[in-house]
Amino acid sequence: MRYELYYWTGIQGRGEFVRLALEEAGADYVDVARLPASRGGGEPALMRFLEDRTAAHRPFAPPFLKAGKIVVAQTANILQFLGPRLGLAPKGEADRFWTHQLQLTVTDFVAETHDVHHPIAGSLYYEDQKREAKRRADDFLRNRLPKFLGYFEGVLDANPKRGGYMVSGRLTYVDLSMFQIVAGLRYAFPKAMARAERKTPGLVALHDRVAARPRIAAYLASPRRIQFNQWGIFRHYPELDRK
């Protein structure tokens, strides 16, 4: 199976959670919008899907994944689809739903992180809502960030397998997502994360364990890994960070 991932060019965004799963599994995939138009790629190829009103299962927004005739959208939904196929999901039904539940909580966390720098509207520039962003950042770093990270740290601690993973005793796609969360928050809020990480050693260890996996390490060192920048979910504005 060759997978086709459709996401915006130039940013990691929500598509990165899917890329990490595909890379860890060594899957045959293509990042369609990053291909030249001469090879059927580019953002016009993505937009054709979004604007095709005759499609029975038209995605609302990227990321979405094409696998043969199947098109799956929404990050957590894509990972639930890919998990069993890539060996990144538990075999038991209860643990599969638990993994999906955790990924949905990651989705909530990602949305709140994005809304720190765009608290009023995504259609406005950051500079148009800096005052509101500062107020949002103060609350996010004081209350929401430690609440989410503390929850995920507790999930690690409560895992009866005690293997350092979120679910059962082996790597799943939600572990890859936690790596991305820690990496992104370190970029966006380095001062706040330096403080938060003292209370979440399990998540730090999980991040490091994932980063050292051979395929992930190779991906991170390759041009396929888009660097964090000021257009994605995780953005660094010094005035929003605090010790």
Question: Cis bond leading into 63, ω under 30°?
Answer: yes
What are the structure tokens assigned to 49, written together?
Answer: 């899907």
Predicted confidence at residue 56, as pLDDT, reads 86
What are the structure tokens assigned to 27, written together?
Answer: 């899957």
Is the confidence at residue 1, as pLDDT, over 90? Answer: no
**In angstroms, rounded to a whole number, what is the distance separating the alpha carbons of residues 193 and 186?**
6
* Predicted model pTM: 0.96
Hey, what domains does the chain have and what are their CATH numbers? 3-86 (3.40.30.10), 93-240 (1.20.1050.10)
Res. 38 pLDDT band, cuts 50 70 90? confident
Model confidence pLDDT, tens digit, residues 115-162: 999 999 999 999 999 999 999 999 999 999 999 999 999 999 999 887
